[in-house]
Amino acid sequence: MLDKVKNVIVVLSGKGGVGKSTVSTQLALALRATGHKVGLLDIDLCGPSVPYLLGLEGRDIFQCDDGWVPIYTDESKTLAVMSIGFLLKNRTDPVIWRGPKKTMMIKQFLSDVKWDELDYLIIDTPPGTSDEHITVMECLREVPCNGAIIVTTPQGVALDDVRKEITFCKKTGIKLLGIVENMSGFVCPHCTECTNIFSSNGGAELANLAQVPHLGTLPIDPRVGVLAGSTASALDELPDSSTAQILRGIVQHLDALTAVPAIA
Amino acid sequence: MQAPPPEHCPGVESEQAGRVSACAGCPNQSICSDPTKKLEDPGKALVAAAMKDVKHKLLILSGKGGVGKSTVTTLLTRYLARSCPDNNFGVLDIDICGPSQPRLLGALGENVHQSGSGWSPVGIDDNVCLMSIGFLLSSVDDAIIWRGPKKNGMIRQFLSEVDWGNLDLLLLDTPPGTSDEHLSVCTYLRDDSAPKDSLSAIIVTTPQEVALLDVRKEINFCRKQRIPILGVIENMSSFRCGHCGNSSDIFPAKTGGAAAMCAEMEVPLLGSLPLDPRVTRACDAGEDITAMKSETTDALAAICSKIMSSF
């Protein structure tokens, strides 16, 4: 399982809709932009977002002798993607499965996909601390996993759930790489006044409380939202944005941690 | 200890269950061959008994997380309770891994008590009560690391062992997805012999395509489970800057938003709630904002009258 994968990073949050998939896809694209070979596995089976976010909807998975071939975003084959979204006939089809079936599917994604040589495998997860999470943690015991990145928004109601996810990580023994605070503040395009719609600073405070590194604070930036549906990295499209700045920081942080020599 | 099924067992769902030669001597033969007992979860009868004085049940669903299911549940409950003071409302939070209702309804740190007739839900107001797994945890940091079957057991207990009393409407706040929690609650509450309006669903979404994508799946889930959909509520539809008063679409409806999705999926749109920082602040603090006049309460008034007219 994942024999040729050098590093595995899990993106987690107890709360839904905080931007796990956006952070996962942009982090994968940022790692690729800095010369790495990256895989992105979406284990949100009931609500897969990665195919849409990367503009890969409608692509089909093929089988080869060694297993399923992931979807490559382009000819360079530097970003491999796997999601249940590629296995559904119709994008409106629900996946109405109880835990055991979800567990089987995730095990298959980890063992039967021909990931090939990867510098990083990013795993995007659904919200919660249940079947998907327990399964992926159990499977990752057998491979070198670098740890988890936690995504949150600054609101109290999100932080409540994220605190539970941190407890989950501590109990399952996965290393916490750090916390990303997303959707912190919105700069009005008309008057440039910043409104903290979902409060502010909550992620930083939580990082302090839980004694985990604070990887950065991302504002609500509609320009990043516009990148959904393409494989454009914020690093290339919006190099001056704070999103790009923070992504660069996370990539550096990961590189220092894993010491994978960049090709570039 | 569970005995293995006999060789050539036709399967409990088969017409032949309990009747073929392989069934002779199987300890479950009498259960399998009895047509009336077949496949009925014993919990279903307990749930039906506990819910007999609950007139309407309303599921608040969304395939997507963080769109405001819990916020909408809270706002609807507060608004309905204020405008119908003679009716009784209950809220059941079946988000086991991420319960939000105790905070949103201002009941953090409360405890549930056990009485002769079951667990007593926490009173929020004169005519509102709440049950959530959040009340059973000793700290916010406590994680519920459970696979499906344990979550289902908890939901069954919430439905059958809570003393809800007489309720006109029970709102059920759900986690995102179409999995264990949703299947369990539908299985326990669906009663084909009950009036059609006793169990229905409201779908919550935000305007951007990445949310609508999951919400379409949830609508198809309801159809497969034969749960009537009252309609869709679009949350966070626009943001008005408190400084200059101009509106911005933070979650842009590139594909036409909830309105286009509703037309495509043939479900009614109940209304849209704006993205209002005052609401998010009040939610975090557990305060009631439905008494204040605002764009949010105006939208709520229209949505609630549509909901009440469908019962």
The confidence score (pLDDT) of residue B8 equals 79
CB-based burial label for A101 (10 Å; 0-12, 13-18, 19+): middle
Measured CA to CA, the distance from residue A21 to residue A125 in angstroms comes to 8
What are the pLDDT digits (tens) for B167-225?
A: 999 999 999 999 999 999 999 999 888 888 899 999 999 999 999 999 999 999 999 99
Mean pLDDT of B76-93: 97
CB-based burial label for A17 (10 Å; 0-12, 13-18, 19+): buried
Please provide residue B62's backbone torsions phi and psi, each rounded to the nearest 5 degrees. -165, 140
Indicate the residue of A47, A157, A190 with minimum beta-carbon distance to B244. Answer: A190
A143-152, B3-12, B154-163 — which one is most confidently predicted on average? B154-163
Indicate the residue of B219, B248, B277 with minimum beta-carbon distance to A189. Answer: B248
ipTM of the complex: 0.94
Looking at the complex, does the CB of residue A137 fall below 8 Å from at least one CB of chain B? no
- The answer for B 103-142 residues in CB contact with A (under 8 A) is 103-104, 140-142
Query: Residue type at B166?
Result: N
Cβ contacts below 8 Å, chain A against chain B, sum to: 205
Residue A237 belongs to domain with CATH number = 3.40.50.300
The confidence score (pLDDT) of residue A30 equals 97
Residues of A in contact with B251 (CB under 8 A): 225
User: Around A30, how many Cα atoms within 13 Å sit in the side-chain half-sphere?
Assistant: 24
Measured CA to CA, the distance from residue A97 to residue B187 in angstroms comes to 14
Length of chain A (residues) = 264
Please provide residue B227's backbone torsions phi and psi, each rounded to the nearest 5 degrees. -105, 120
What are the pLDDT digits (tens) for B256-305?
A: 999 999 999 999 999 999 999 999 999 999 999 999 999 999 999 999 99
Domain tally, chain A: 1
Q: Provide the sign of the torsion angle of the four alpha carbons B126, B128, B129, B133, taken in this order.
A: negative
Does A185 carry a binding-site annotation? no
Looking at the complex, does the CB of residue B286 fall below 8 Å from at least one CB of chain A? no
Q: Which residue of A has its CA nearest to B218?
A: A94
Does B23 carry a binding-site annotation? yes
A177: nearest Cα among A240, A252, A110, A118:
A252
Indicate the residue of B147, B178, B251 with minimum beta-carbon distance to A134. Answer: B147
Q: CB count, 10 Å around CB of B286?
A: 18
Looking at the complex, does the CB of residue A173 fall below 8 Å from at least one CB of chain B? no
Q: Taking the domains of chain B in order of start, what are their residue ranges?
A: 43-309
3-class secondary structure per residue, A172-240: HCCCEEEEEECCCCEECCCCCCEECCCCCCHHHHHHHHHCCCEEEECCECHHHHHCCCCCCCHHHHCCC
Q: Per the domain annotation, does A264 fall within a domain?
A: no
In this prediction, residue B29 has a pLDDT band, given cuts at 50, 70 and 90, of confident
Structurally, at CATH architecture level, domain B43-309 sits in 3-Layer(aba) Sandwich (3.40)
**Contact assignment for B148 to A167 by CB distance below 8 Å:** no
In this prediction, residue A129 has a pLDDT band, given cuts at 50, 70 and 90, of very high
Measured CA to CA, the distance from residue B35 to residue A222 in angstroms comes to 59
B6: nearest Cα among B26, B33, B32:
B26
Domain that holds residue A116: 5-258
Measured CA to CA, the distance from residue B79 to residue A25 in angstroms comes to 39
Indicate the residue of B104, B178, B281 with minimum beta-carbon distance to A46. Answer: B178
Does A15 carry a binding-site annotation? yes
Residue B37, pLDDT above cutoff 80:
no
Residue B128, pLDDT above cutoff 90:
yes
Mean pLDDT of A31-52: 97
Residue B165, pLDDT above cutoff 70:
yes
A23: nearest Cα among A176, A215, A156, A163:
A215
**Contact assignment for A130 to B96 by CB distance below 8 Å:** yes
Looking at the complex, does the CB of residue A89 fall below 8 Å from at least one CB of chain B? no
The confidence score (pLDDT) of residue B13 equals 67
**Contact assignment for A94 to B221 by CB distance below 8 Å:** yes
What are the pLDDT digits (tens) for B275-289?
A: 999 999 999 999 999
Mean pLDDT of A121-142: 95
Residue B254 three-state SS? coil
Q: Where are the beta strands (DSSP E) in B94-186?
A: 113-115, 118-120, 122-125, 128-132, 167-173
Mean pLDDT of B13-30: 79
According to DSSP, residue B8 is labeled T
Does A99 carry a binding-site annotation? no
The confidence score (pLDDT) of residue A264 equals 43
Residues of B in contact with A158 (CB under 8 A): 66
Looking at the complex, does the CB of residue B249 fall below 8 Å from at least one CB of chain A? yes
**Angstroms from B247 CA to nearest CA on chain A:** 9
What are the pLDDT digits (tens) for B207-223?
A: 999 999 999 999 999 99
Task: Give me the percent of chain B exceeding a pLDDT of 90.
Answer: 81
Angle at B114 between CA B145 and CA B48, to 5 degrees: 80
Measured CA to CA, the distance from residue A180 to residue B299 in angstroms comes to 33
Residue B97, pLDDT above cutoff 90:
yes
The confidence score (pLDDT) of residue B4 equals 67
Q: The tokens of A62 are what?
A: 């093929």
Looking at the complex, does the CB of residue A4 fall below 8 Å from at least one CB of chain B? no
Indicate the residue of A96, A99, A199 with minimum beta-carbon distance to B178. Answer: A96
Mean pLDDT of B10-34: 78
Residue A140 CA to chain centroid, in angstroms? 16
Task: Give me the percent of chain B exceeding a pLDDT of 70.
Answer: 96
B303: nearest Cα among B267, B272, B266, B262:
B272
Residues of B in contact with A97 (CB under 8 A): 178-179
**Contact assignment for A129 to B143 by CB distance below 8 Å:** yes
Residue A259, pLDDT above cutoff 90:
no
Average pLDDT of every residue of chain A: 94
Q: CB count, 10 Å around CB of A13?
A: 30
Indicate the residue of A93, A165, A226 with minimum beta-carbon distance to B217. Answer: A93
Q: Which residue of B has its CA nearest to A128?
A: B97
The confidence score (pLDDT) of residue A158 equals 97
Looking at the complex, does the CB of residue B70 fall below 8 Å from at least one CB of chain A? yes
